């Protein structure tokens, strides 16, 4: 087994490898991953990830497992359903639960971005195929959608049996799925949303908006069930929901650990674990829970010892998301002495105060998603950022601005002005693409990050001196 070393490094047990050998052989053959690619992946994992932490290693293993599952789904007779990123929490899980393991409902581009991109460094050819087929380069089009189209067009992943098209957040996801619907004849269910809340509404939610979103979710479940020939099973959903809740509780515990000074883990590693919530298949979700459950005591141990990738007292910032395709970006930030204890997509600052009068699964799901802020508005993201600054004792904001993401491409500029004026802390806007590292200059980024680190450290040390002087 030429892949034994990398899988072992990624937390796979010997018996699991033996059990899944025929699947692994076939999936790696389809993916074109041979002994050389395994060596490259091993080097990248050792260099880019905190392999002293078994929770991180297991998470890497779950991503690889998820990749195998999606590549083989059709040949193994599963009904395949794809949803877009960012997903609606629970939607994919509920659809998977309906099929009692016979349905694979995943966000394939996200799995490919991490497994094939971050781990194996083999995502660029897939993006290029996506560009050649449908989404040309140089036009500010989403890299994740390029991956979705490119991977299907290259035959790396199958065309699915159903698409859950996401126009609830961005038009590009919907347009990509429309393309797949037209070209491959894949049935699709469209989820809509309205993004025009009043500026000061958040964290209160507009009831009409919430009800509309809940109705869309309910409708998607019903339509999807009909197309897939399934009937929603509350018992199966309950089991999945329990695992999902455990995972969310695990994320909350990691957030508590990250409030420590120094934070016990690099954000690029933590993000890898937390994102399992958003993209893992039903079959792998128990493994995802095990990964985060393994990580929690490991982080607690580090917090107790006061250790982490950066020294105590390092400046602390938040970001929306750290580019995960290239872990070097997070490491560049850390090498400049900046800690990132929290990112937007991993900290549910407002879901602890949900309105109990909403009782159906769809209503609860809609309320949770809108309270997370992303699907609500730019003002909600700003509101969240101010709360994160307070909750995590932050010294600045390092906003990674995704220039190819239509809903997010301009929010950073609003955020910079508002945060600097209202909180008086520095904000650096770093123009990136979270999923495509072909479009930014590493050297220019390094200059900005190092300068920002210097600026934050000087402010922090001055503040400390002032406090001591007082």
Report the interface residues with another protein, using CB under 8 A. Answer: 335-336, 403, 413, 416-417, 426, 431, 439-441, 443-444, 446-448, 450-451, 454-455, 457-458
Q: DSSP per residue over 298-365, as a string?
A: HHHHHHHHT--SS-TT--EEEES---SS-THHHHHHHHTT-EEEEEGGG--SSGGG--TT--SHHHHH
Q: Which is nearer to another protein, 227 or 455 (CB)?
A: 455
Q: Which is nearer to another protein, 54 or 439 (CB)?
A: 439
Q: Which is nearer to another protein, 37 or 433 (CB)?
A: 433
Q: Which is nearer to another protein, 212 or 440 (CB)?
A: 440
Which parts of 136-260 are beta strand (E)?
162-166, 188-191
* CB 322 to another protein: min, Å: 18
Residues facing residue 163 across a β-bridge: 82, 188
* CB 413 to another protein: min, Å: 8
Q: Which is nearer to another protein, 30 or 439 (CB)?
A: 439
* CB 177 to another protein: min, Å: 29
Cα-trace Rg, the chain: 21
* CB 148 to another protein: min, Å: 25
* CA–CA distance, 104 with 144 (Å, rounded to integer): 19
* CB 18 to another protein: min, Å: 45
Q: Which is nearer to another protein, 200 or 421 (CB)?
A: 421
**194 within 8 A of 209, measured Cβ to Cβ:** yes
Please name which of 347, 353, 331 lies closest in space to residue 445, comparing C-alpha atoms. Answer: 331
Q: Which is nearer to another protein, 334 or 369 (CB)?
A: 334
- The pair of structure tokens assigned to 247 is 């995972």
* CB 378 to another protein: min, Å: 17
* CA–CA distance, 432 with 439 (Å, rounded to integer): 7
Indicate left, alpha or beta for 372 from its phi (over 0: left) and psi (-120 to 50: alpha): alpha
319-331 exposure pattern, b = at least 16 Cβ within 10 A, e = fewer: bbbbbbbbbbbbb
Q: Which helix or strand (DSSP H or E) is residue 174 part of?
A: helix 171-184
* CB 308 to another protein: min, Å: 19
* CB 344 to another protein: min, Å: 21
Residues facing residue 189 across a β-bridge: 164
Q: Which is nearer to another protein, 410 or 444 (CB)?
A: 444
């Amino acid at each position: 087994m030429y892949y034994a070393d990398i899988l072992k490094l990624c937390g796979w047990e010997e018996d699991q490898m033996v059990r899944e050998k025929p699947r692994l052989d076939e999936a790696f053959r389809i993916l074109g991953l041979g002994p050389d690619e395994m060596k490259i992946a091993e080097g990248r994992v050792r260099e880019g990830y905190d392999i002293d932490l078994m929770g991180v290693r297991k998470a890497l293993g779950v991503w690889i497992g998820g990749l195998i599952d999606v590549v083989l789904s059709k040949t193994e007779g599963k009904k395949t359903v794809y949803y877009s990123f960012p997903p609606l929490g629970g939607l994919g899980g509920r659809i998977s639960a309906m099929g009692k393991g016979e349905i694979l409902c995943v966000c394939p581009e996200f799995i490919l971005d991490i497994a094939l991109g971050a781990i194996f460094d083999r995502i660029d050819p897939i993006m290029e195929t996506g560009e050649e087929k449908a989404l040309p380069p140089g036009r500010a089009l989403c890299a994740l959608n390029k991956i979705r189209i490119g991977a299907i067009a290259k035959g790396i992943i199958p065309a699915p049996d159903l698409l859950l098209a996401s126009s609830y957040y961005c038009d590009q996801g919907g347009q990509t799925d429309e393309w797949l619907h037209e070209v491959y004849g894949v049935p699709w269910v469209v989820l809509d949303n309205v993004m025009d809340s009043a500026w000061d509404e958040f964290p209160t939610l507009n009831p009409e908006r919430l009800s509309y979103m809940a109705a869309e979710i309910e409708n998607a479940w019903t339509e999807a069930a009909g197309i897939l020939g399934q009937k929603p099973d509350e018992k199966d959903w309950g089991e999945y929901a329990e695992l999902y809740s455990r995972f969310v509780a695990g994320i909350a515990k990691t957030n508590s650990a990250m409030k420590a000074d120094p934070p016990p883990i690099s954000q690029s590693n933590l993000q890898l674990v937390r994102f399992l919530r958003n993209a893992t298949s039903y079959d792998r979700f128990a493994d995802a829970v095990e990964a985060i459950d393994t990580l929690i005591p490991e982080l607690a141990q580090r917090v107790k010892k006061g250790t982490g990738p950066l020294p105590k007292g390092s400046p602390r910032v938040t970001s929306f998301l750290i580019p995960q395709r290239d872990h070097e970006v997070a490491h560049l930030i850390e090498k400049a002495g900046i800690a990132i204890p929290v990112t937007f997509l991993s900290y549910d600052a407002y879901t602890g105060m949900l309105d109990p009068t909403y009782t159906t699964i769809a209503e609860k799901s809609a309320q949770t998603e809108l309270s997370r802020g992303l699907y609500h508005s730019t003002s909600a993201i700003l509101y969240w950022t101010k709360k994160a600054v307070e909750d995590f004792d932050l010294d600045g904001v390092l906003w990674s601005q995704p220039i190819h993401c239509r809903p997010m491409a301009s929010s950073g500029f609003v955020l910079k002005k508002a945060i600097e004026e209202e909180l008086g802390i520095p904000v650096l806007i770093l123009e990136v693409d979270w999923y495509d590292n072909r479009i930014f200059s590493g050297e220019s980024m390094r200059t900005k990050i190092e300068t920002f680190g210097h600026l934050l450290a000087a402010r922090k040390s001055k503040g400390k001196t002032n406090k001591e002087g007082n």
